[in-house]
Chain A
Amino acid sequence: MAEVQLQNVCKSFGSITAVDQMSLTIDQGDFVVLLGPTGAGKTTTLRLISGLERPDQGRVLIDGRDVTSEIPARRDVAMVFQQYSLYPHMTVRENLAFPLRSPLFSFSDEVIQDRIQNIAEILQISHKLDNRTTALSGGEMQRVSIGRALVRNPAIYLMDEPLSSLDAKLRADLRIELKRIQVELNATLLYVTHDQIEAMTMASKVGVLESGKLVQVGSPRAIYEDPVSLYVSGRLGLPRINTVPAYLFPNSPAGATTIGLRPEHIEQGQGEPARVIRLEHLGDQTQLYLDFKDHTIITLTDIRSTLRPDDTVYIQPRNPLYFDVTGHRVR
C-alpha cells in the first residue's frame, strides 16, 4: 500500500487529448473516485497508472518511485477491468491463483489456496471455485474479476466501473462489501464510475474529469455543496441540478448569468408563481416538475403531496449556486 501521484500527465491518441495536464495525489488508504461522462479520460487515467499506456508527458510515481517507464508487472498495481476479462481457459480457482503464481511472487501452494478461500468467501463464490469461468453468470464473473485483484496486496487497486454490469441488488451489496474491504485492508483505491451513488457512498475523495482535465478534487460533500463550475455541479445530485438564467430571480450577484438550483435551494410557498406540470411518485421521494417562466424546474416535494397538474406553487431560491457566462462559479 502506498501513495500514488500523477504529475502533469498528458496522453493523446492521434488528435484526441484523452488526459490533459493531470496532477493528482492519492494518499495511502484513500478511496478516490473519478467521475465523468464517457470519454472524459477516466479509463485512460487508470491505464496510465497501471502502465498499460505510457504518458506523452509527465510522471507517474508510486510510493515516491518514478514508474513512468516501467512495465505494468513492476508497478505493483491490481486492476479490475470493465470487461470481465477472466481467463476463459482456466477455472475460477486458477483465475484467482494466476496473479499469485506470477514470477513476482513465490508463494507456497498452501498460502495461495488460503488466500483464494478467504477472498472467495468474502465475495460469496466459494461454491463456484472449480467451475469454468465460462459457466458463470455475469455477476459471478465480475465478482471473480474483483477477487483476482483482491488476492493481492498491491500498492493500489484500480477499478474501472467494476459494478456497472451488475443488477441493482448485487451492485448495492458489492458496493458496501467493497467499501468494507477497503477500510479493513486500509487499501488505496482508485475507482472509475459514472454512477453518482457509488461516488457519494464509497469515496473519501472525488475527482471530477472534464475532457481529460481534472477540474475539481474534494470530498463527495464538497463536490456536491461547493462545485467550482456548472459542469461539476451537474455530476452529482438527483434530481439533477436545475439551471435557469439568472435574470429570472432578483438579487443575483454581479457577473452571474446562470443560477443552479438543487431541490434544497428551492423554497416552496413564497416568492413567484410556478405552474405544476406533473408529479412523479418514486416511493421514497416525489419529484415535482414545475414550469417557471417557460423553464422546467424539477424539485422534490412531500411524498404525500396532493398537488395536481396546473396547480400553482410559489417558489424562491435559497442560497443557490451562481455561475458566470463561462460556467465558473460566482461566489
Chain B
Amino acid sequence: MSSITEPRQTWKLAAGLLVVFYALVTLLPLLWIISTGFKTPSDSIAYPPKILFEPTFEGYVNLFTTQTRQSEEFLANNPPTNWYEQLVHDKGMVIAGPSRYGERFFNSLIIGFGSTFLSVFLGTLAAYAFSRYRVPLKDDLLFFILSTRMMPPIAVAIPIFLMFRSLGLSDTHAGMILLYTAVNLSLAVWLLKGFIDEIPLEYEEAALIDGYTRFQAFRKVVLPQATTGIASTAIFCLIFSWNEYAFAVLLTSGSAQTAPPFIPTIIGVGGQDWPAVAAGATLFLVPVMVFTILLRKHLLRGITFGAVRK
C-alpha cells in the first residue's frame, strides 16, 4: 500500500513546488509594484532593494493630492488636522488640492465598462443572428468582421485622429467608448458566436412551442445558457479597453483622459516619485481583478452537460 502511495506523494509535492515557484516568478513584478507603493521615495530606489521596510502611505497621499512647499512660519500657523496632512506637513509641504488621479480613474471606469457593456450587448445580438438566422453572405460578413483585427488597431490611428477631430469626438467619453467598442466588437462577435452555436436549437424550439416569441425565447432560454460566454467575453473586452494606452494618449488629454496615459505623468517634475506611480498602478489593477472574481462563478462550464442527448 505504502509503496504505491509514496511515489505519488513525492510527485504531488514536486508538482506543488513547481506551481508555487511559477506563481512566485510571475507574481514578483506585481509584488514589487504593490510594495513600492508603500515605500518612501528613498526606500523605493535603494540598492540592493529593501525587502523589509517601514510601510508608509506617503505614495498614496502624493497620488491623490497636489502639494506646495511652504515657509516654516506658514506651516507653524497651519497645523495639520489629520494623518495625511501630518504626513505632508512633516516634509515641509501643505496639500493644495486633490490630484487628477481620481478623475482619470473615473474616466477609465466609464470608458472601460461602457465599451465593455456595449461590445457584449451588440456582440450577443450579432452573434445570435449569425448563429441562428440565414444571413445573406454570412461567411463573408464574419470574415470581414474578423479581418478588422488582422492589423494592429493603432495602424489606423491617423485616420481615426482626423475623423474624431472633425466629428468633435476627440477627448470625449462617447468617442473613446465608441472606439473601444469598435475594436472589441469583432472579438465579441466571434467568441459569442462560438458559445451560442453550442447551445442546441432544441431549447429555443421548445420555448417557441411553450408559448414564447423568438425574442422571449432568446431572453429566457438562450441568454441564461450563454452566461459563460458572455462573462468571458466581457472580461476580455474590459481588459483590452481598461489597459489600452496608445489611443488614449493620442485622442485624450483633458476631460476624457483615462488612467493609463495619466499614470506615467504622476512621476512629477523634479524628484522621481516612484511610490506614487506604484500606488497609481496598484489601484489601477483592482477593478479588473474584482470584475474577474465577480464573474468567476459564471466561467465554470458544464452546467449544460447531459440535458440534451447527443
A contacts, CB < 8 Å to B: 50-52, 71-73, 77-79, 81, 83-89, 98-99, 102-105, 133-134, 138, 141, 148, 165
Tell me the nearest residue of chain B to A47, going by C-beta.
B205
| Contact call B206/A89, Cβ cutoff below 8 A | no
| Contact call A102/B211, Cβ cutoff below 8 A | yes
- Which residues of the partner chain A approach B202 to less than 8 Å between Cβ atoms? 81, 83, 85
CA distance A134 to B308 in the complex (A): 9
| Contact call B209/A134, Cβ cutoff below 8 A | no
How many A-B contacts at CB < 8 Å in the complex?
Answer: 82
Known: A134-B303, A141-B307, A165-B309. A85 touches B200 (CB 8 A): yes
- Which residues of the partner chain A approach B214 to less than 8 Å between Cβ atoms? 71
- Which residues of the partner chain A approach B200 to less than 8 Å between Cβ atoms? 83, 85
Minimal beta-carbon separation of B303 from chain A (angstroms):
6
| Contact call A133/B307, Cβ cutoff below 8 A | yes
Minimal beta-carbon separation of A293 from chain B (angstroms):
46
Residue from A77, A87, A138, A141 within 8 A of B209 (CB atoms): A77
CA distance A52 to B204 in the complex (A): 10
| Contact call B304/A88, Cβ cutoff below 8 A | yes
Task: Tell me the residues in window 140-179 of chain B with beta carbons closer than 8 Å to chain A beta carbons.
Answer: none
Closest 4 CB pairs of A and B: A102-B211, A88-B307, A85-B202, A99-B210
Tell me the nearest residue of chain A to B210, going by C-beta.
A99
Given A134-B306, A141-B307, 4 more A-B residue pairs with CB atoms under 8 Å apart are A71-B208, A79-B209, A85-B308, A104-B211
* Residue in B213, B221, B309 whose Cβ sees the most chain A Cβ within 10 Å: B309
CA distance A81 to B305 in the complex (A): 18
B contacts, CB < 8 Å to A: 200, 202-203, 205-214, 216, 221, 224-225, 303-309
- Can you name 27 A-B pairs with beta carbons within 8 Å? A52-B205, A52-B208, A73-B208, A73-B209, A73-B211, A73-B212, A73-B213, A79-B206, A81-B202, A81-B205, A83-B308, A85-B202, A85-B205, A85-B307, A86-B307, A87-B203, A87-B206, A87-B307, A88-B203, A88-B307, A89-B225, A99-B211, A102-B210, A103-B212, A105-B211, A134-B307, A138-B309
- Which residues of the partner chain B approach A51 to less than 8 Å between Cβ atoms? 208-209
| Contact call A148/B211, Cβ cutoff below 8 A | no
CA distance A88 to B224 in the complex (A): 9
| Contact call B211/A103, Cβ cutoff below 8 A | yes
CA distance A104 to B205 in the complex (A): 16
- Which residues of the partner chain A approach B205 to less than 8 Å between Cβ atoms? 52, 72, 81, 85
Known: A72-B208, A73-B208, A85-B203. A103 touches B216 (CB 8 A): yes
CA distance A72 to B213 in the complex (A): 8
Residue from A52, A81, A89, A103 within 8 A of B224 (CB atoms): A89
Tell me the nearest residue of chain B to A102, going by C-beta.
B211
CA distance A213 to B14 in the complex (A): 68
Minimal beta-carbon separation of B182 from chain A (angstroms):
32
